[in-house]
């Protein structure tokens, strides 16, 4: 599917996709004629100024356009992403994690803008890539596949902020399944092995671009000391206040 979406032969699918998912191309740079492949449509940019960024000093902003699927605190190192379905944060991050965290799960549908942005200004200190499956991540699949987010491949960026560390997890999904990052040359779903590395404390501004889904998926933001301002089912947009700091 990735090869098809990246090929010029997929151009005829762009209009079908826009119609099927009611994609608002008025928000996108250019017109549909400017997207020569289906992947180019998925990775489209927004016109400048369409997503005002909340500048309040104590907020965490949404890194994506999508829908909140979970906003709250872990219990026993896990959150419930669907009735009876626990997501263990250590498994998701592929590293030991002590204590509880505040977690935000944000689902991107096929119609959503697919670029991922920085939820709070700080410095990127590390990244990791965890290969895995590419289960669909729409709600019905999350309800049926145990530990889905921790089974799918994912790219993780660690951010050090003035309010502690944030982990931004980009979870791959069925379809094109490719993720790219701006802080390193990682491109997932291309035959790579598990990998990780430090970063030279790259400075990042709030809502600066951090990565791209080459098809819709899910972002999980993990931190400490954040009180949610959104609830499951709420739509979210890049730059919108997602949570307020507790300290």
| Enzyme catalytic residues | 65, 117, 217
Distance between CA atoms of residues 128 and 75, nearest Å: 25
Distance between CA atoms of residues 70 and 218, nearest Å: 11
Q: Which runs of E-coded beta strand occur in 52-172?
A: 59-61, 66-73, 78-82, 85-88, 102-107, 115-117, 122-130, 154-161, 164-171
C-alpha angle 18-155-240 in degrees, rounded to nearest 5: 60
Distance between CA atoms of residues 46 and 30, nearest Å: 9
- Residue tagged 């927004």 (tokens): 46
Distance between CA atoms of residues 93 and 107, nearest Å: 18
């Amino acid at each position: 599917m990735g090869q098809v979406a990246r090929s010029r032969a997929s151009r005829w699918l762009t209009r079908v996709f826009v119609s099927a998912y009611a994609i608002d191309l008025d928000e996108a740079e250019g017109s549909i004629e400017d997207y020569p492949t289906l992947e180019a449509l998925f990775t489209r940019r927004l016109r400048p100024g369409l997503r005002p960024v909340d500048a309040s000093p104590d907020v965490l902003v949404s890194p994506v356009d999508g829908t909140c699927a979970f906003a709250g605190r872990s219990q026993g190192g896990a959150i419930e992403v669907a009735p009876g379905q626990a997501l263990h944060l250590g498994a998701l991050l592929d590293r030991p994690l002590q204590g509880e965290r505040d977690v935000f799960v944000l689902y991107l549908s096929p119609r959503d803008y697919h670029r991922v942005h920085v939820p709070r200004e700080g410095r990127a200190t590390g990244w990791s890539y965890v290969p895995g499956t590419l289960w669909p991540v729409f709600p019905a699949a999350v309800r049926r596949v145990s530990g889905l987010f921790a089974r799918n491949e994912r790219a993780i960026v660690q951010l050090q902020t003035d309010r502690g560390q944030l982990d931004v997890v980009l979870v791959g999904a069925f379809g094109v399944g490719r993720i790219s990052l701006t802080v390193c040359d990682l491109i997932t779903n291309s035959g790579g092995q598990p990998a990780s590395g430090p970063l030279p404390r790259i400075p990042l501004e709030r809502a600066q671009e951090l990565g791209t889904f080459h098809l819709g998926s899910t972002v999980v933001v993990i931190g400490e000391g954040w009180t949610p301002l959104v609830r499951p089912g709420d739509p979210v947009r890049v730059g919108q206040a997602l949570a307020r700091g507790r300290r």
